[in-house]
Amino acid sequence: MSSVTRPRREADFARFPSSTPIVIDNGASTFRIGWAGEAEPRLSFRNVVQRPRHRSTGETVSIVGDTDPSLMKFFDCTRSAVRSPFDDDVVYQFEYMEYILDYGFDRLGANSEVGHPILMTECECNPSFSRVRMSELLFETYGVPSIAFGIDNAFSYKYNQKLGNCNEDGLAISCEHGTCHVVPFLKGQPVLGACCRTNVGGFHITDFLRQLLSLKYPYHMASITWDKAEELKKEHCYIGLDYMAELQIFKNNKEEADEKMRYWQLPWVPPPKDEPPSEEELARKAALKEKASQRLRDMAAAKRSQKIVELEKQLSYLEEVMEQLDEAEEQEATAILGRSGYLSQQEIKSAILKATQSLRKAKGESNGNDEKTDASAADKYPLVSVPDETLTPEQLKEKKKQILLKTTTEGKLRAKQKRAEEEALREKQEEKRRAENPELYLEELRSRYSELSEKFEQRKRHKVNGGQTNGNHSSSGGVGRGERLNAAQKERMRLLASAAFDRGKGEDTFGMRDEDWLVYNKMSKDNDDDSNDDDESELVRIASKLQEIDPTFVSKSEAVQLTPEPPKIRHSPQRITGLPLESSGSAALKSSSSQA
Amino acid sequence: MESEVVRTEMVLAPTLPFKKMQTADKYPKGQSRGRQWKHLRHLLQSADASSMPPDRPNYMNIQSPPSIYPPKRYCDLTGFEAPYVDPRTKLRYADPEVFKQIRMLPDEYVQRSFFLPLVY
């Protein structure tokens, strides 16, 4: 019940003589206040308070009742929740009670003082501490002349008795916000010694509905709030008089069940569709790209030319030095050398060589690469071709190393080639098979795919199940018996234990055979063997093939599509509340108060 | 205050004319209010020791005892009648299909499902 319109201040407070009582129905869900003798309460609002901080001024204010959500943007509600002074049906938070009473009296029009007797409702057998503090609050803070407390069901029963709806003996069943009470009446008087209370009420039902919905539709958990669930409950739920029969309807009967089903459409914002860019866009983008690449090319060319210039300069300088050295005599030679920074003629010569090489590279890049690879190939195995007798022992060793290297690289190349050939052959065979009998081929592929995916999922589930759901009962899958219930895990523990056990006597022959090392494979928790990967790759291959040729194929991972229609929430069995109220024997049932 | 907020009069005025003592004085700023209020069960426990005649009804007396009928068994997932319980997760289920779904549930759902049935 979201009353967004706030009640106006009543103007006729002064009209009433000071003997007219003010009647307050202080309920766990709504607070009603009015004048005695009138048919309807003047005010009724939700019995809640929130104390947010006002954003601009920074002060904490109190807001009673329901509010317009659009106005709440002025307040910072992060640390203020909606609070109620009630716990079940007893008032225990008197600060909030005070705010609520403030608001109630204020809206009723009180100016100078509340000088009227108050009639207030409370729950059955209200504990004394609650009543004490309530009276204290009313007397001392509001200066009320007199107070009377009463039970709301009893009031309602007496009223109905006066109207003739029920006899003087009867049973009042009241379903409130947090509790339900059953009070028998004998000769018009409530027998409180025989009354009963159950701590289940409208609040719990709404909460139950909210939890059910959010469990079923976890994706929309944010929009299923308690208030929303309350609204749904009030508008669409009903009490099933025969719960089992209703369940049967939903189980068996399609049409009736469909009638009872309700669809709730959540507000849905379509995802922004990416429009394919128009022609101009494309052209513009292409032009930009061109410009950028052109700019880069220009920069690179400029750098290169700069480098070339530098190198040429250096080369000329070095050549000059060489010339000078050639022409000059000994003493001058050393002086020139010292000036140029090189220690000997050899160095200058090598520097010249390097400079010319890099110059050549800068001028024409592609030529250098081929030369280099050839050079390296020749470099790597220079000794291979040289016959044995002419080599020294170290050189022989070198030669052996180089032979080994050469053979291994060649072998790898050969193996790769062979694999490629095999692949090509296989492809050709498949194509031939497909051409002959497309249907059969498709069938085979499909069956193979389903088989593989089954195996895959099973293995995945095994992996997950072994770790996860077993850890359900033992906390967070740590060490403990819960972890070793699986057969595989028992095996693993056995291996680990035996491996760790130091045998001591006798030789340790563990690593002698190759198969021994496979034990580690079994020990590891992940248990990723190579066979897994093979299967996986084959699965992927088959999936891609199927996608090409089969129009109806949808790979398992994509099967869960985001529907373009707005989401609907099916609402059927949750509609029937599970509270089968047992009807009593004698005359009239009268339920008082609001919630059900 | 913004004008529309003022217009709707949603905020409680800090001082009210009919009160003998204003809330601001009663609950001075700075004290953390939340801790002052004991919960109902604490209050009831502390009140229990005091002398309350055992034959008169009081708040604890009138609370109804738990039901003597055996609880009805409903499926945790669909809401239908469920005579079966999954031994691993202790959830109730009505059909073999529901059972399959239970086995596929990730852990968190199982935890949350435990809070569902109204325990009374």
Contacts of A328 (CB under 8 A, 6+ apart): A336
CA A530-A531-A534 angle, to 5 degrees, is 90
Q: Are A21 and A151 members of one domain?
A: yes
Q: What is the pLDDT of residue A396?
A: 80
Asked if A61's CB is within 8 angstroms of B11's CB, the reply is yes
Helical (H) or strand (E) element with A198: strand A196-198
- CA pair distance B17, A545, nearest whole angstrom: 83
Mean pLDDT across A155-175: 90
Cβ pairs A/B, distance under 8 A? 149
Min Cα separation A61/chain B (Å): 6
Sign, CA dihedral A471-A472-A476-A478, equals negative
Asked if B13's CB is within 8 angstroms of A125's CB, the reply is no
Closest to A95 (Cα-Cα) out of B37, B109, B62, B72: B37
Q: What is the pLDDT of residue A503?
A: 57
Which residue, of A390, A417, A436, is where some domain finishes? Answer: A436
Q: What are phi and psi of A58, to 5 degrees?
A: 85, 0
- CA pair distance A279, A404, nearest whole angstrom: 60
Q: Report chain A residues whose CB lies below 8 A from the CB of B21.
A: 140-141
As for the ipTM of the complex, it is 0.84
Q: What is the pLDDT of residue A530?
A: 52
Report residue A208's pLDDT band, with 50, 70 and 90 as the boundaries: confident
Q: Are A321 and A425 members of one domain?
A: no
Report residue A522's pLDDT band, with 50, 70 and 90 as the boundaries: low
Domain assignment of residue A297, yes or no:
yes
Q: What mean pLDDT, rounded, does chain A reach? A: 75
Asked if B120's CB is within 8 angstroms of A200's CB, the reply is yes
Model pLDDT for residues A370-405, shown as the tens digit of each residue: 444 444 444 456 666 666 666 677 878 888 888 888
Q: Report chain B residues whose CB lies below 8 A from the CB of A195.
A: 57, 62
Burial A571-590 (b: 16+ CB within 10 A, else e): bbbbbbbebeeeeeeeebeb
Comparing CB atoms, the residue among B56, B81, B115 nearest residue A247 is B81
Asked if B38's CB is within 8 angstroms of A250's CB, the reply is no
Asked if A127's CB is within 8 angstroms of B21's CB, the reply is no
Residue A234, both tokens: 């009030």
Asked if B106's CB is within 8 angstroms of A140's CB, the reply is no
Asked whether the predicted pLDDT for residue A87 surpasses 70, the reply is yes
Asked if B47's CB is within 8 angstroms of A127's CB, the reply is yes
Min Cα separation B31/chain A (Å): 13
Among all residues of chain A, which has the CA nearest to that of B47?
Answer: A129
Count of structural domains, chain A: 4
Q: Which residue has the higher pLDDT, A437 or A168?
A: A168
Q: How many residues does chain A have?
A: 596
Q: Are A17 and A119 members of one domain?
A: yes
Asked whether the predicted pLDDT for residue A317 surpasses 70, the reply is yes
Comparing CB atoms, the residue among B1, B16, B118 nearest residue A200 is B118
Min Cα separation A38/chain B (Å): 23
The answer to whether the beta carbons of residues A569 and A268 sit under 8 Å apart is no
Asked whether the predicted pLDDT for residue A594 surpasses 60, the reply is no
Report residue A147's pLDDT band, with 50, 70 and 90 as the boundaries: very high
The answer to whether the beta carbons of residues A126 and A98 sit under 8 Å apart is no
Q: What is the pLDDT of residue B82?
A: 82
Closest to A51 (Cα-Cα) out of A89, A95, A5: A95
The answer to whether the beta carbons of residues B8 and A4 sit under 8 Å apart is no
Comparing CB atoms, the residue among A124, A129, A204 nearest residue B43 is A129
pTM of the model: 0.56
Q: What is the pLDDT of residue A139?
A: 92
Q: What is the pLDDT of residue A578?
A: 37
Model pLDDT for residues A238-277, shown as the tens digit of each residue: 888 888 888 888 877 777 777 777 777 777 777 776 666 6
Asked whether the predicted pLDDT for residue A407 surpasses 60, the reply is yes
Q: Which residue has the higher pLDDT, A200 or A491?
A: A200
Lowest mean pLDDT among A325-339, A450-464, A550-564: A550-564
Domain assignment of residue A37, yes or no:
yes
- CA pair distance A236, A260, nearest whole angstrom: 10
Which residue, of A342, A365, A388, is where some domain finishes? Answer: A365
- Counting residues of chain A whose pLDDT is more than 90, the rounded percentage is 11
Lowest mean pLDDT among A12-16, A62-66, A265-269, A576-580: A576-580
Secondary structure of A298-310 as H, E, C letters: HHHHHHHHHHHHH
Using CA atoms, how far residue A544 sits from A434, A437, A438, A547, in Å, is 15, 19, 16, 5
Domain assignment of residue A63, yes or no:
yes
Residue A414, both tokens: 């050969």
The CATH number given to whatever domain includes residue A51 is 3.30.420.40
| Pairing of the two strands A30-35 and A43-46 | antiparallel
Which residue, of A115, A134, A167, is where some domain finishes? Answer: A167
Radius of gyration of chain A (CA): 45
Q: Are A52 and A148 members of one domain?
A: yes
Asked if A195's CB is within 8 angstroms of B57's CB, the reply is yes
Comparing CB atoms, the residue among A90, A92, A141 nearest residue B37 is A92
Asked if B5's CB is within 8 angstroms of A71's CB, the reply is yes
Helical (H) or strand (E) element with A173: strand A170-175
Asked if B62's CB is within 8 angstroms of A196's CB, the reply is yes
Asked if B74's CB is within 8 angstroms of A61's CB, the reply is no
Q: Which residue has the higher pLDDT, A588 or A4?
A: A4
Min Cα separation B21/chain A (Å): 6
Q: Are A323 and A373 members of one domain?
A: no
Q: Which residue has the higher pLDDT, B30 or A528?
A: B30
Residues 84-113 of B with CB under 8 A from A: 88-89, 106-107, 109-110, 112-113
Q: Report chain A residues whose CB lies below 8 A from the CB of B37.
A: 92-95
Mean pLDDT across A78-107: 87
Q: What is the pLDDT of residue A146?
A: 92
Using CA atoms, how far residue B74 sits from A150, A211, A214, A564, in Å, is 40, 16, 18, 35
Name the β-bridge partners of A50: A63
Using CA atoms, how far residue A197 sits from A312, A510, A589, in Å, is 104, 74, 16
- CA pair distance A65, A127, nearest whole angstrom: 26
Q: What is the pLDDT of residue A504?
A: 55
Domain assignment of residue A293, yes or no:
yes
Radius of gyration of chain B (CA): 26
Q: Are A358 and A375 members of one domain?
A: no
Is B45's Cβ below 8 Å from some Cβ in A?
Answer: no
Q: What is the pLDDT of residue A214?
A: 82
Mean pLDDT across B99-106: 78
Residue where the block lists tokens 């053979």: A407
Cα A460 to its chain centre, rounded Å, is 22
Among all residues of chain B, which has the CA nearest to that of A193?
Answer: B57
Q: What is the pLDDT of residue A75?
A: 82
Report residue A536's pLDDT band, with 50, 70 and 90 as the boundaries: confident
Among all residues of chain A, which has the CA nearest to that of B46?
Answer: A129
Q: Are A111 and A60 members of one domain?
A: yes
Chain B contact probe: residue of A2, A86, A122, A142 with most B CBs at under 10 A: A142
Model pLDDT for residues B18-31, shown as the tens digit of each residue: 888 887 777 766 65
Question: Where are the extended beta strands (E) located within A83-157?
Answer: 86-87, 90-91, 118-122, 147-151
Residue A35's SS3 state is strand
The answer to whether the beta carbons of residues A98 and B16 sit under 8 Å apart is no
Domain assignment of residue A185, yes or no:
no
Mean pLDDT across B97-115: 71
Domain assignment of residue A30, yes or no:
yes
Comparing CB atoms, the residue among A6, A87, A126 nearest residue B39 is A87
Q: Report chain B residues whose CB lies below 8 A from the CB of A113.
A: 17-18
Domain assignment of residue A462, yes or no:
yes
Q: What is the pLDDT of residue A31?
A: 92
Residue A524, both tokens: 């590891």
Q: Which residue has the higher pLDDT, A503 or B26?
A: B26
Q: Are A47 and A144 members of one domain?
A: yes
Asked if A90's CB is within 8 angstroms of B40's CB, the reply is yes
Asked whether the predicted pLDDT for residue A62 surpasses 80, the reply is yes
Closest to B37 (Cα-Cα) out of A59, A152, A98, A65: A98
CB atoms within 10 A of CB A154: 20
Asked if B44's CB is within 8 angstroms of A472's CB, the reply is no
Asked if A573's CB is within 8 angstroms of B79's CB, the reply is yes
Asked whether the predicted pLDDT for residue A416 surpasses 70, the reply is yes
Model pLDDT for residues A281-309, shown as the tens digit of each residue: 888 888 899 999 999 999 998 998 898 88
Residue A499, both tokens: 């491996």
The DSSP string of A101-115 is: HHHHHHHHT--S---
Min Cα separation B89/chain A (Å): 7
Residue B32, both tokens: 């953390």
- CA pair distance A157, A174, nearest whole angstrom: 10
Which structural domain, as residue segments, surrounds residue A459?
A: 441-466+534-555
Q: Are A299 and A353 members of one domain?
A: yes
Asked whether the predicted pLDDT for residue A474 surpasses 70, the reply is no
Domain assignment of residue A274, yes or no:
no
Q: Are A150 and A38 members of one domain?
A: yes
Among all residues of chain A, which has the CA nearest to that of B66?
Answer: A198
Q: Are A322 and A390 members of one domain?
A: no
Q: Are A385 and A341 members of one domain?
A: no
